[in-house]
Structure 1
Amino acid sequence: MKYASIGVLLSVALLPAQSLAEPAPVTDLGAASGQDIAVLKQQLEQASRLQVQTQQSLQSLQSEVDELRGMLETQNHQMQQMLQRQRELYQELDRRLASAPATPVPSVPTTGEGEGDKTAELSESAVYQNAVNLVLKEKQYDQAIPAFYDFINQYPSSELTPNARYWLGQLLFNKGERKDANAQFEAVVNQYPNSPKRSDAMLKMAMIAQLNSDSANAKTLYNRVIKEYPGSPSAQIARTKLSSLK
């Protein structure tokens, strides 16, 4: 009986220990770990989306940079073409002027008018050639300005006058005298409709208006260049300039 009682007492004494060991904290820990994993997955997905968005933004910026670089290269190429065309025109003009004194002029001995016409022609060519040489050969741009003024005043009806006005406008424009330059370009546009320099003069008027923050007038002039001289280098430059105003 004594041993049996001891066994019963031991059994009763062990019951609290077993009941304390029964709760399963492992299940709670497993649930907490699952939540952490879900949070981590969510954070990774957000980071992945952010990385994709950043990559897309970089690609978009790179495309814009490439497009701007292409526009700049095109504009530079067009400008070089226009400058080359001007140089060729001036060289051809120089060759014609250089050969002018050798051109025979018929004389009329009875009146002497032939000699007078020849002297006037040579004088006109010499005055113009002197002004051109100040620009192309001697690079004396400040002295060339009054020389072209003198030619325009002496020979307002000369076939060379529209070219002289354009030369003068360009020299004044380079000095920053926009108002006086615009007056010369405007004279070429309005007074010499058949001049080969008219499209370039109109383009320069638009550029001056743009520099003066007169966007409305600049747009009007650029559109005129494009409409009246659609296939010219001036029109190509006008299209590029016009797009920058939109």
Structure 2
Amino acid sequence: MTLHKKSIALLLSGAFLSLAQPAFAQEDEQARRAILELRSQLKQSDMVRNDLASQVQQLQNELRQLRGQLESLGNVGQTQVLEARANDDIGPSAQVGDPAEQRAYDAALDLFRAGDYAASSKALANFTASYPASPLAPSALFYEGSSRYANRDFQGSIKTLNEMLASYPKDPKAGDALLVIAGSQLELNNVAGSKATLERTIKEYPGTPAADTAKERLALY
């Protein structure tokens, strides 16, 4: 190759290089921007993930707390039945004139005391059916409703105790009957109904131990 041709070749190669450099620089800039954008997206994804994880943890904590409250509320209904069993007022019952009537009531109540709730609920229901005008009928209805609650027949418990309250609203056990109803409603996931029943207990039977218990339970909601 002559000197002239070599000079021309060098000039052309230099020209090509000068033309290629801006294109390479542009591609590098685009790649750099893409990397920066990807990093930004990854950072945002991490932030979103962390935020979601925090929210999930908070929800789990709230759920555990709610479960604890519901468990506490559920336990108080069972406590009500146990207190009824231990209460002195289910000791020697009021005596009635008919010996057969008295024996039927005492036998049914003995089943309740023994914790045989399925049998006691049936026996007490039979008693009120056989002796609807008995002075022992309100107590029989109360212990039948309590037996049904303890046997997890919550609908039956509510029905029986509402019958008692409708017929004997002034009975000494009326406030306690409302407490058992509130416990049954809670077991049936009727939280609003349970709260309303507790509020009713406070309103209709103020100054009674049942009203005090209702206030304590409302504080758990």
User: When the two structures are superposed, what TM-score results if normalisation uses the length of structure 2?
Assistant: 0.70
Task: Please name the residue that 2:199 is paired with.
Answer: 227
Q: Distance in 2 between matches of 1:234 and 1:55?
A: 43
Q: How does 1:97-136 map to 2 (within 5 A)?
A: 97=92, 120=97, 126-136=103-113
Which string of whole-angstrom CA distances, capped at 9 and with x for unpartnered residues, describes residues 56-81 of structure 1? Answer: 11211111111111111112122223
Residues 39 and 163 of structure 1: CA distance in aligned 2, closer, same or farther (over 3 Å): farther
User: Structure 1: which 5+ residue stretches go unaligned?
Assistant: 1-8, 102-117, 241-246
For the pair 1:16 / 2:11, whether they are aligned, the reply is: no
Task: Please name the residue that 2:66 is paired with.
Answer: 71
Task: Please name the residue that 2:121 is paired with.
Answer: 145
Q: Is the 8 A contact 1:132 1:144 kept in 2?
A: yes
Task: Please name the residue that 2:50 is paired with.
Answer: 55
Q: In percent, how many aligned pairs have the same letter?
A: 13
Q: Distance in 2 between matches of 1:58 and 1:121?
A: 70
Task: Please name the residue that 1:96 is paired with.
Answer: 91
Task: Please name the residue that 1:115 is paired with.
Answer: none
Structure of greater relative contact order (alpha carbons < 8 Å, 6+ residues apart): 2
Residues 125 and 46 of structure 1: CA distance in aligned 2, closer, same or farther (over 3 Å): farther
Task: Please name the residue that 2:167 is paired with.
Answer: 191
Q: Is the 8 A contact 1:203 1:238 kept in 2?
A: no
Q: Is the 8 A contact 1:127 1:151 kept in 2?
A: yes
Q: Distance in 2 between matches of 1:145 and 1:88?
A: 17
Q: What is the RMSD computed on CA atoms of the aligned residues?
A: 3.7
Q: Is the 8 A contact 1:162 1:197 kept in 2?
A: no
User: When the two structures are superposed, what TM-score results if normalisation uses the length of structure 1?
Assistant: 0.64
* Greater gyration radius: 1
Which string of whole-angstrom CA distances, capped at 9 and with x for unpartnered residues, describes residues 99-133 of structure 1? Answer: x69xxxxxxxxxxxxxxxx6739876653332122
Q: Which AA in structure 1 matches 2:58?
A: S
User: Structure 2: which 5+ residue stretches go unaligned?
Assistant: 203-210
